[in-house]
Chains A and B, each alone.
Chain A
């Protein structure tokens, strides 16, 4: 019997994996991919709750609309982010995250 908790734990584990990847990896692109993974984990939680909160015999579509929007925004974000990474690569000739520690104070 698959309960809501199963889905939530899967989502949490996926999120944690993404976070570990963001902190541990040095390649900017891989960091970005792990970021996307975190976003998807959140989406999974939303859809799970949408199914398990039944109103009038139908799933709650408000959460699924949010997922829709999240996917759209993620897509746009990926496009812009990759453009930035490309520009960064042109400037620094490297995709190592150490090369962009200009924020050092």
Chain B
């Protein structure tokens, strides 16, 4: 069952990805990308990364693509009527893509880790919970683990705030800088006073 679901969502992601690249109308491209992200989120969830999958839909499909659509509407971009991409660029792009994909596939096949499936690396939740209790870990996480549930968001939070606190602050600063930058970049140049 899970294999079927995987193939379904993988096909979704790649198919809509292809539509992004080949669509004429920019709005079509944007919406296809949004759908591709949804497929990607499904793949995340199939990997037991619930938090990341949710974040993917919320931020990427929900905020980023909406922003893209806003800009497309704002700039009122028509479809690329009659302007074919230059053959050189197209050929170059396709060639490069194929070569890269082949390389990645070949590397992947050589990975020793690659042959594992999820069954081979099972999550032993109860045991992890017992260990945490012994080390006096967070009770919320420990209880969930002992109950046999993966508290994904809570574990993410623990990792982030325990190990990457400084990085979080920097990211916050980055977002601030981004905001300020966008405001500055959007100003129209004032006409010189006559």
Q: Which residues of B contact A50 (CB under 8 A)?
A: 47, 49
Contact of B59 among A21, A32, A75, A87 (CB under 8 A): A75
Contact code string B65-94 (vs A, CB < 8 Å = 1, else 0)? 001100110110100100101000110111
Least CB distance from B22 to A in Å reads: 9
Q: A2-B2, A4-B113, A20-B21 are in contact. Are A76 and B178 (CB under 8 A)?
A: yes
Contact code string A7-25 (vs B, CB < 8 Å = 1, else 0)? 1111111111111111111
Q: Is A2's CB under 8 angstroms from B185's CB?
A: no
Among A1, A29, A30, A40, which residue has the most Cβ atoms of chain B within 10 A?
A30
Least CB distance from A76 to B in Å reads: 4
Instruction: List B96-115 residues whose CB lies under 8 Å from chain A.
Output: 96-98, 100-101, 104-105, 108-109, 111, 113-115
Q: Is B105's CB under 8 angstroms from A9's CB?
A: yes
Q: Is A40's CB under 8 angstroms from B40's CB?
A: yes
Which secondary structure characterizes the binding site on chain A? helix
Instruction: List B107-137 residues whose CB lies under 8 Å from chain A.
Output: 108-109, 111, 113-119, 121-125, 127-128, 131
Which secondary structure characterizes the binding site on chain B? helix
Contact of A65 among B29, B118, B156, B185 (CB under 8 A): B156
Give the residue name and chain of the B residue nearest to A95 (CB).
B77
Least CB distance from A85 to B in Å reads: 7
Q: A13-B14, A26-B80, A75-B59 are in contact. Are A47 and B71 (CB under 8 A)?
A: no
Q: Which residues of B contact A58 (CB under 8 A)?
A: 123, 125, 128, 150, 155
Q: A21-B21, A59-B123, A83-B182 are in contact. Are A75 and B75 (CB under 8 A)?
A: no
Q: A73-B174, A74-B64, A80-B182 are in contact. Are A54 and B163 (CB under 8 A)?
A: no
Q: State the CA gap A43–B188 with chains docked (Å).
A: 36
Least CB distance from A40 to B in Å reads: 6
Q: Is A75's CB under 8 angstroms from B10's CB?
A: no
Contact code string A22-59 (vs B, CB < 8 Å = 1, else 0)? 11111101101110110010011001101111101111
Q: Is A104 an interface residue (CB 8 A)?
A: no
Q: Which residues of B contact A12 (CB under 8 A)?
A: 100-101, 104-105, 108
Q: State the CA gap A51–B155 with chains docked (Å).
A: 13
Q: Which residues of A contact B14 (CB under 8 A)?
A: 10, 13-14, 17
Q: Which residues of B contact A82 (CB under 8 A)?
A: 67-68, 71
